[in-house]
Amino acid sequence: MAEVRLTVNGTDVALEVEPRLTLVDALRHRLGLTGTHVGCEHGVCGACTVLLDGAAVRSCLMFCVQAQGHEVTTVEALGEVDDLHPLQAAFRRHHGLQCGFCTPGFLMSAYELLREGADGGLGDDRLREELSGVLCRCTGYAGIVEAVQEVAREYPDGLPAPKALGRPITVRRSVPPPGEEQALAAASAAAAARGQAAGAQTHVQVAVPEGEPNETVAVTTAISPSPVQTWELMADFMRLTRCMPGVELNTDHGEDTYSGRVGVHLGPMRLSFQGAARVLERDGERRRLRAVASGRDASGSGVQADVTVSADPGGGGTGTALRAEAKLYLSGRAAQFGRSLAGDVSRGLFTEFGACVERTLTTGEAVTPRRLSGAAVAWRLVRARAGALWRRVRGPEGDAP
């Protein structure tokens, strides 16, 4: 716990908080200031906008501890029920709200915008851009823009200060509601039991993913060992997977099924997928291996993969063209955040995989792949793009117009 002292709406307050408590949760739950709303909790909707030392900020993207010594102004300070701030009055006149959820965000964002006065007025386009940090799902924005535009015209030299400053604020203690502690303890015991049960389970099943994958990648690496040598390593699945950065298979469940974890580090993001893999096909003649894998991360992200690795004679009659083709199925947060990165990241992983297979075969030792977070691997990824070591499997839309 950390002690935080800050000024909220002109009143000095001190409270003990867990460092991970966001400013908006502190305002609402510890200071009882529920005028600030919290919507998306990741900086998209803008409902939680407050003023920090006069600047409009998203209070869900700040921890309360960061506000130490600062001055926070919330919508409660703007006006009183029978003495509205001109911005509030204009929102009411122009129907700038319906459900009211986004309203505190719009009011505080607009307050910062017009506080010093809109010198020479604001065009509608510019105003819409300035207000784009807050989302409204009811009004279609027309009333909001009209309200703010009217206030901008009425107060060219700046807005009246907030009217309701210096009210007493009661700091509430952070105590879980009665029964919650027991409920939490029971839930965590149940989760532990489930984990144990899963660990003890000997019959692990890995389904073949179905439907349209989020991403398809194909990476071909030219390596110096012969296809026959390469196949020897491919035939030993657990040893082969050690060449994949972040993969740690530790249990052989029989029937060519294995379990373990896959760690992916990407800047600040760290995912750790617990899961299993099953070999579906081993074709020694064509030196082809197909496996499916699935895993889940504690963040609620899921990944499934259908991977085929093949070792064909290399170009020019020497070495091997080691080809990895993967269909990836992402779900949960990783898919939400991933944008178009899953392909880039997997290509980087498979490129390092190819390099590691080469090192393993030429040194005859168990070689650990470099982590993707290492600059070397990432740089390889960039070079791979430039040098077209791989070719993205393109859909019909991939062609240049």
Partner 1 sequence: MKAAPFRYERPLELVSALTLVRDPEAKALAGGQSLVPVMAMRLARPQVLVDLARIGELEGIERRDGELVTGAMVRQRTLERFAGLEHELPLVAAALPYVGHREVRNRGTVGGSIAHADPSAELALVAATLRARIEARSLERGREISAAEFVRGPFQTALEPGELVTAVRWPTAGPEDRFAFAEVARRHGDFALCGVAVHLRRGQGRVALARVGLLGVAAVPVVHEVAEQLDGAADPAAVAADVAGQLEPAGDMHASAGYRRRLARVLVERCLRQALGGPSGG
Distance CA 251, CA 88 (A): 63
Contact 369, 221 (CB under 8 A): no
Judged by CB under 8 A, does residue 125 bind partner 1? no
In the 8-state DSSP scheme, what is residue 28? I
Cα–Cα distances in angstroms (integers) from residue 135 to residues 75, 78, 305, in the given order: 17, 20, 36
The residue type found at 6 is: L
Residue closest to 75 by CA, chosen among 110, 116, 25: 110
Among 282, 370, 392, 393, binds partner 1 (CB under 8 A): 392
Query: Among 8, 63, 114, 145, which residue interacts with partner 1 (rule: CB under 8 A)?
Result: 63
Any contact of residue 397 with partner 1 (CB under 8 A)? Answer: yes
Taking the CA atoms of residue 249, residue 251, residue 257 and residue 261 in that order, the dihedral angle to the nearest 10 degrees is: -30
Strand positions, DSSP E, 235-390: 247-252, 257-266, 269-283, 288-296, 302-313, 320-331
Among residues 10, 61, 218, 321, the one that binds partner 1 under rule CB under 8 A: 61
| Residue 218 within binding range of partner 1, rule CB under 8 A | no
Question: Helix, strand, coil proportions of the chain in percent (round to 5)?
Answer: 35, 25, 40
Does residue 133 belong to the site contacting partner 1 (CB under 8 A)? Answer: yes
Which 314-333 residues touch partner 1, going by CB under 8 A?
Answer: 333
Q: How far is the CB of 242 from partner 1 (least distance, A)?
A: 22
Alpha-carbon span 321 to 83, nearest angstrom: 77
Determine if 129 is a binding residue for partner 1 (CB under 8 A): yes
Q: Binder to partner 1 among 71, 130, 312, 325 (CB under 8 A)?
A: 130
20 part of the interface to partner 1, by CB under 8 A? yes
Measure CA 250 to chain center: 28
- 306 with 298: CB under 8 angstroms? no
- Using CB under 8 A as the binding rule, the residues of this chain from 249 to 278 that contact partner 1 are 266-271
Which of residues 157, 254, 366, 394 is near partner 1 by CB under 8 A?
Answer: 394
Residue 145 contacts partner 1 per CB under 8 A: no
Which one of 7-15, 194-202, 279-287, 344-352 is the stretch in contact with partner 1 (CB under 8 A)? Answer: 344-352
Residue 116: helix, strand or coil by DSSP? Answer: coil
DSSP state of 50: E
- Does position 115 bind partner 1 by CB under 8 A? no
Nearer to partner 1, 229 or 299 (CB): 299
Residue placing its CB nearer to partner 1 in the complex, 254 or 387: 387
Which listed residue (30, 58, 85, 94) binds partner 1 by CB under 8 A? 58
Q: Which is nearer to partner 1, 285 or 397 (CB)?
A: 397
Report residue 171 as tokens. 């700091």
Paired tokens of 163: 């009217």
Interaction between residue 119 and partner 1 (CB under 8 A): no
Residue 250: other Cβ atoms inside 10 A = 9
173 interacts with partner 1 by CB under 8 A = no
Burial class (CB in 10 A: 0-12, 13-18, 19+), 399: exposed
Q: How far is the CB of 255 from partner 1 (least distance, A)?
A: 34
- Contact in structure between 349 and 222 (CB atoms under 8 Å): no
What is the pattern of x (binds partner 1, CB under 8 A) and - over residues 348-377?
A: x-----------------------xx-x--
**CB-nearer residue toward partner 1: 55 or 207:** 55
Cβ-based nearer residue to partner 1, 35 or 314: 35
Q: Is 164 in the site for partner 1 (CB under 8 A)?
A: no
> Quick check: 7 and 15 in contact, CB under 8 A?
no
CA distance 364 to 171: 65
Number of residues that bind partner 1 (CB under 8 A): 67
Q: Are strands 55-58 and 215-223 parallel, antiparallel or unpaired?
A: unpaired
CB of 71 to partner 1, least distance (A): 14
The single residue among 26, 30, 35, 46 that binds partner 1, judged by CB under 8 A, is 46
Give the interface with partner 1 as residue ranges (CB under 8 A). Answer: 2, 18-20, 22, 25, 41-43, 46, 49, 52, 55-58, 60-63, 65-66, 68, 109, 112-113, 129-130, 132-133, 266-271, 298-301, 333-334, 336-337, 339-341, 343-345, 348, 372-373, 375, 378-379, 381-382, 385, 392, 394-395, 397-401
